[in-house]
Amino acid sequence: MKFLSAFVTFENLHEVRRLCHWGPVIALSVIAICSTMAMLDSIIWYWPLDTTGGSINFIMLINWTVLILYNYFNAMFVGPGYIPLGWKPENQHDAQYLQYCRVCQGYKAPRSHHCRKCNRCVMKMDHHCPWINNCCGHLNHAYFTSFLLLAPLGCSHAAIIFIMTMYTQLYERISFGWSTVKIDMSAVRQFQPLMPFSVPAFAATLFALGLALGTTIAVGMLFFIQMKVILRNKTSIESWIEEKAKDRIQHYQTGEEFIFPYDLGGRWLNFKQVFTWSGTPKGDGIVWPVHPKCNQHTLTMEQLKQKADKRVRSQVQYQVVEDYNGACCPLSKGLQTFFRTPCTEEPRIALNKGDIILATRGTKWWMYGDKVLNEEEMKGKLLKSL
């Protein structure tokens, strides 16, 4: 199996260190708690193994856990695929259409981007995911998206088990303060539980239910976001590049028609570029099938235009009119600003009223740029660098 081979053929042990990060620790803890509690609740209190339904339910719970972990570890350890260090296009003439990466000492192939966390240029980079402590890109995009689908499904199943366990064990009497309310339930237990449903068992089940419901909602939303870009054969970064392309064309009134080059014209065709029966996506991560009106460097040339536009726009200065503490999701600045925070790893810059910034681009709620440092701040920055 490819998963086992990936585990055995590590070139170095630093891959195993990906597990030593808050993201995988939390993710695996949630998986372990939800799956373990669902199995225990089923066997001990809700649906014993000596019934046909209980056996099927138990097998399904194990199946969810295995599939979730299989795709999770593949997304983590197979990785996104990296552009070789010092890479150059076969045709040297094409180098003029590509960006050069000073860290990797090579050109960035089409659809690749440099990840500051991984310190490499990543093939078809979508984003760096802290939950797998790795990038989501060309080789692991399908595994990552499958994990995003399976986790909510498995947690939904577990949540039903938790609810039914508490329902069947607490139906006789539920106390509210000083009064005792007797509830007549039709679903009476037909078997004797292996052990009493104690307060610690109730607390553990309730805690696991909260984790399962939270995971279902949060990861389910991420799944729909991923599928939205996959069905258009895009990545999250490329969606942002396309948005900036339309903004550039509208700002300068160039009359250009920007066509996203990797949308093959059909959702099924785009879907098959990521998901295959073998688990290995189509392509080598460097050369891609493109729209008939585009070429291999349509998007990279647009990126170069945006870089040039960024240099021009960065000459415009803006004065800050309100303090900002650099929070990722500042609730004090309004709900629109809170919910429309950019999904990017770029750091937020704390600002004080009266500061000067150079903005390169922006939306109605957020701006991108740099703060103009005064003499004292420049001296402080120099001292820190020494």
Q: Which residues are catalytic?
A: 129
Asked if 114 contacts 103 with a C-beta cutoff of 8 angstroms, the reply is: yes
Q: What three-state secondary structure class fits 350? A: coil
Q: Cα separations (Å) of 264 from 20, 124, 186, 273, 291?
A: 40, 16, 55, 10, 6
Q: Read off the tokens for 37.
A: 């509690």
Nearest-angstrom CA–CA distance, 359 and 356: 10
Q: What three-state secondary structure class fits 289? A: coil
Nearest-angstrom CA–CA distance, 61 and 261: 42
Q: Mention every residue, 6+ apart, whose C-beta is less than 8 A from residue 315.
A: 358
Asked if 357 contacts 367 with a C-beta cutoff of 8 angstroms, the reply is: yes
Residue 308 one-letter amino acid: A
Q: What three-state secondary structure class fits 364? A: coil
